Homo-oligomer: A and B are copies of this chain.
């Protein structure tokens, strides 16, 4: 049934960004060829892969060709069009994570409902399409609250913080009719994430909880281990395990939580993929999140997720990448640069990991 894929086979990755690049590194280290499918010419992942198809994600003929050459197909981003996943499966591909997990992660409303249905605790939430919905939701949830698009939001985009009952009409209009969700604002103590892996045999492994600092809605810094009780770590692991079992999930999945002053974990969102807050695992865990994902989707046993030492990861965003020479001279910095040609503001250009030994 779930026989391990032998080295020498090709692993297909949808998406050509830095996560695909680091997945490609890990897959090739294990002896696999990597095929990238991306709509972006000259992408970071393409430059470290054996083969690249540059085509639209709705090009079913190109997707079928891609599927035909890969022993398994995975993705480095959650917003894979549903028809792309369907086309790959129709062409005979094994796709991990499965389209249901991708679909749930693509819709904040479905995601929060799924969290609640599986014993996780989301912030109070309500769907919003009309001004009446919004007024009712604000009344039920209270203020401040965050109005978000249900789909295609990431890194703080597609969000507005509501502080007052005044101006709800304008707030709604700014989203131009997109389906929305209102979420209660959590006065959290810290933001943490759990990164876990599961393979088709049901084997499960989780890394130590990561503590994340965002700036402008973008992850700026991760430290491990997160400052929290062992009970919090255990709870996050148990919730990840339960969610992944429910989804029959294969691969690495990340859940971001708000850690509340009373120790409660509010499930904020999940990413059905390797995650920026797990980049420290390259140097500071026995198996990196990237290798772990490849092991899981290839039907290999999971590797040990043990942490080797404390670590801190700093993102290089936009012009931060211009500091490369100073970082190259910093003996404490393990430098990762993604090969992006242009350092646009807010763009993740690289990261550095510092080991705390």
Contacts and interface: CB of A to CB of B under 8 A. Distances in A.
Interface of A: 4, 6-8, 21, 24-25, 28-34, 46-50, 286, 295, 300-301, 303-304, 308, 321, 324-325, 328-329, 331, 334-339, 341, 350, 355, 357
Contacts of A325: 4
Contacts of A34: 47-48
A338 B47 contact: no
B295 A328 contact: yes
A357 B32 CA distance: 29
A232 B10 CA distance: 46
Contact of A30 (B33, B46, B331, B337): B337
B337 A7 contact: yes
Contacts of A336: 29-30
Residue of A46, A335, A338 with highest tally of chain B CB at under 10 A: A335
Contact of A338 (B25, B31, B286): B31
Residue of A334, A341, A355 with highest tally of chain B CB at under 10 A: A334
Contact of A24 (B4, B32, B48): B48
Nearest to A331: B304
Contacts of A321: 7
A46 B47 CA distance: 10
22 contacts: A4-B325, A4-B328, A7-B321, A7-B339, A8-B339, A25-B25, A25-B29, A25-B48, A28-B48, A29-B337, A30-B336, A30-B337, A32-B339, A47-B49, A48-B48, A286-B331, A295-B328, A300-B329, A301-B329, A303-B331, A304-B331, A308-B357
A186 to B, nearest CB: 36
A305 B126 CA distance: 54
A328 B300 contact: yes
A300 B338 CA distance: 17
Given A8-B339, A31-B350, A300-B328, 10 more contacts: A4-B325, A7-B337, A28-B48, A33-B47, A34-B47, A34-B48, A300-B329, A304-B331, A308-B308, A308-B357
Contacts of A337: 7, 29-31
Nearest to A31: B337
Given A48-B24, A48-B48, A337-B7, A31 B301 contact: no
